[in-house]
Amino acid sequence: MSSLADLTLAEAAASLRAGEVSSRELLQATLDRALLTEAELHAYLTIDHEGARAAAAAADEALVRGETTGPLHGIPVAIKDNMVTSGLETTAGSQILAGYVPPYDATAVTALKKAGAVIIGKTNLDEFAMGSSTENSGYGPTANPWDTGRVPGGSSGGSAAAVAAGSALTALGSDTGGSIRQPAALCGVVGMKPTYGLVSRYGLIAFASSLDQIGPISRTVEDAATTLEVIAGHDPLDATSYRGEYPQYRASLGRGVAGLRIGVVAELAGEGISPDVLTACRSVVDSLAEAGAAVREVSLPSMEYALSAYYLIAPAECSANLARFDGVRYGLRVDGATVEEMTARTRAAGFGPEVTRRILLGTYALSAGYYDSFYGQAQKVRTLVIQDFTRAYQGFDVLVSPTSPMTAFELGSRTEDPLSMYLVDVCTIPSNLAGAPSISVPVGLDAAGLPIGFQIMAPALGEEVLLRVAAEVERASGWNNRRPPLVGDDRGV
């Protein structure tokens, strides 16, 4: 590797502990990389040079004293800009929060800081995490490091692009319908959505409360497991936080897949999936069988309704969650003659078209007289999806599918047709509806040289088996922290 910025988190942490590099050097390499790539990528909305330098210096001093506070000690980390950071502007990608500086840290951010992580800055996203390409950001899109004419996926496109490009060693994203896994797939990195409740949502600006979950975006499965270990844990400030045991996730890596039962979801392995993606995923499935797993096809009939149910439930929840942005207490305010007029003008000016569309959809779906036929029906489908999963997991340890039906598409190619954009999430949404964990692992490139992601799903709290299979997929694919051409060795970085 030509730069410290291209190390994996595990390599960087080992070098730090061995005294071979300092946190300041790691940070400098990362900031240099950002300097080199940001003009093309726009992965970051805010880079906190001052704060990051202070944190790196503090990490180095602690290392000198022989104190290492955790596995992320001294590691440069990026945070999706829908997690609040005390004293650091947080916009959720929306103009309605332009200039908003929160007075508190999200619990996941606090956990990172406690672990000694160096927070570089806040990454770009689709406004309020609503989108699949990061083109809905109120601050302009992010580009894909593998082809800057293409989208990085979304909504955590900034975090995925930063980790892929080397302007962060690991990052946090949030996943409501695939917003961690899909951009990870499109950018050739690992992205994981943990079980609902495993990572506190306190300080995550809510999109759809019953679906949102924070998770890691990293270069390797091990790095994702390391990051998850730091941010997972019970939080008394989140009433939906899981109260049971939190295992050491890295312990499950490297144990192979011999004896595991792996189900290939039939509904997510045919129509609508690009041939290159299907071929790559089939080859992974074959290698899992060769490694000793029992692989069979399994049918989950409710999958075809999951997308429709999601696009009722998520907008319905967002319509209530986004009501608080009214110009009264913080963020943008456009004056009016009355409070009502001020609120209406503020919201009209502050929200972008996709957010407005979803608020309207959700408000309609929840309104009296329509509640049962829309939201009520969608909740029934959600129950069916959960039942389908429960039934499938009686015979299988994990389920697999492509992460995204297609590789990175061209910027602007789907923005005119919201429905075609919604279809991008077809493979990832079921895990959110079920509150279950799921991970995307890069497994190869398509004919155009764009990364392909492979998705593994497990039952709720099945993180260990999920990561175990993910590590085998990673090993078998030979991906090995492959770098995008933008920052390849030939660039002389």
The contact set with other proteins (CB under 8 A) reads 83-84, 90, 92, 97, 100, 102-107, 109-111, 113-114, 195-197, 201-206, 208-210, 236-244, 316-317, 319-320, 323-326, 328-330, 338-340, 343, 363, 366-369, 371, 375, 435-436, 460-461
Residue 431 and residue 451: Cα distance in Å, rounded? 22
Closest to other proteins by CB, 32 vs 100, is 100
* Nearest by Cα to 440 from 175, 71, 123, 198: 175
Task: Tell whether the torsion through CA atoms of 303, 304, 308 and 309 is positive or negative.
Answer: negative
Closest to other proteins by CB, 4 vs 97, is 97
Closest to other proteins by CB, 29 vs 205, is 205
CB of 306 to other proteins, least distance (A): 17
The DSSP secondary-structure symbol of 325 reads: -
Contact 210, 313 (CB under 8 A): yes
CB of 114 to other proteins, least distance (A): 8
Residue 467 and residue 470: Cα distance in Å, rounded? 5
Is residue 2 flagged as an active site residue? no
Catalytic residue among 80, 113, 122, 193: 80
Contact 443, 225 (CB under 8 A): no
Residue reference for tokens 């503090």: 58
Q: Tokens standing for 96?
A: 């309605």
Q: Tokens standing for 232?
A: 């997972």
Contact 171, 177 (CB under 8 A): no
Residue reference for tokens 């300041």: 24
CA distances from 189 to 216, 371, 452 (A): 10, 40, 10
CB of 203 to other proteins, least distance (A): 4
Task: Tell whether the torsion through CA atoms of 363, 367, 373 and 379 is positive or negative.
Answer: positive
Residue 211 and residue 214: Cα distance in Å, rounded? 10
Amino acid letter at 407?
A: T
With a CB cutoff of 8 Å and minimum separation 6, the contacts of 468 are 252, 253, 255, 256, 257, 260
Residue 273 and residue 446: Cα distance in Å, rounded? 13
Residue 348 burial by CB count (10 A; 0-12/13-18/19+): exposed, middle or buried?
exposed
Q: Characterize 78-98 residue by residue with b for buried, 16 or more Cβ atoms within 10 angstroms of its Cβ, and e for exposed.
A: bbbbbbbbeebbbbbbbbbbe
- Would you give the distance in Å from CA 323 to the centre of its chain? 24
CB of 151 to other proteins, least distance (A): 26
Residue 80 and residue 31: Cα distance in Å, rounded? 17
Closest to other proteins by CB, 83 vs 466, is 83
Closest to other proteins by CB, 86 vs 413, is 86
Catalytic residue among 23, 94, 132, 155: 155
End-to-end CA distance of the chain: 10
CB of 329 to other proteins, least distance (A): 6
With a CB cutoff of 8 Å and minimum separation 6, the contacts of 24 are 53, 56, 57, 60
Closest to other proteins by CB, 22 vs 85, is 85
CB of 302 to other proteins, least distance (A): 18
CB of 313 to other proteins, least distance (A): 9
Residue 181 and residue 187: Cα distance in Å, rounded? 10
Closest to other proteins by CB, 9 vs 434, is 434
Closest to other proteins by CB, 262 vs 460, is 460
CB of 25 to other proteins, least distance (A): 28
Catalytic residue among 179, 218, 241, 477: 179
Is residue 179 flagged as an active site residue? yes
- Which H helix or E strand runs over 79? strand 76-80
Closest to other proteins by CB, 146 vs 389, is 389
Is residue 440 flagged as an active site residue? no
CB of 265 to other proteins, least distance (A): 20
Residues designated catalytic: 80, 155, 179
